[in-house]
Amino acid sequence: MIDYMEFDVMLFDDVIATVKLKPSGSDKPYVINYIKGFNKQFSPNPEGYITKDELEKWLKWRVFPETRVNADELLAALGLKSYNRWAIVRKTHGVMADDEIWLRFKGETLKHRDVTLRKSLYYPDEVV
């Protein structure tokens, strides 16, 4: 069973952070960053609680903007009726075309090759 309350932040197939949205005993998200000096971390601290605003700010750059010209078509393709960052991230795994970061939810066994938008770039021998 997939648990959407806990996920790993992936760089290709490497876990670079673990996030628990509702850790035991707190209503604040808890993050463990496994790498340092990376510009896409939740916070500069290696481990600790973050605010929901920090989480929302981070998620904002993992989805297309609500003002995008074809946002309605993208939402329809995802089976969504309205813009909701978390719903989009759950469907897309936070995959963007311009980097190799993505989210793998607890219980999933996906790899980068399963979610990337640029299979021909990263896995040219597998593209048919």
Number of domains, the chain: 1
Q: What is the pLDDT of residues 19-70, one digit of tens each?
A: 999 999 999 999 999 987 666 677 777 899 999 898 888 888 899 999 999 9
Q: Under 8 Å CB-to-CB from 99, ≥6 apart: which residues?
A: 40
Q: Residues 123, 38, 3, CA angle at the centre, nearest 5°?
A: 70
Q: Is the pLDDT of residue 116 over 90?
A: yes
Sequence letter at residue 119: K
Q: Quick one: how far is CA 83 from the chain centroid?
A: 16
> In the predicted model, what is the mean pLDDT of the chain?
90
The predicted model scores a pTM of: 0.90
Residue in 84, 85, 63, 81 with CA at minimum distance from that of residue 72: 81
Length of the chain equals 128
Distance from C-alpha of 101 to C-alpha of 62, rounded to nearest angstrom? 9
Q: Quick one: how far is CA 64 from the chain centroid?
A: 12
Distance from C-alpha of 115 to C-alpha of 9, rounded to nearest angstrom? 13
Residue-number span of the structural domain to which 42 is assigned: 3-126
Q: Is the pLDDT of residue 99 over 90?
A: no
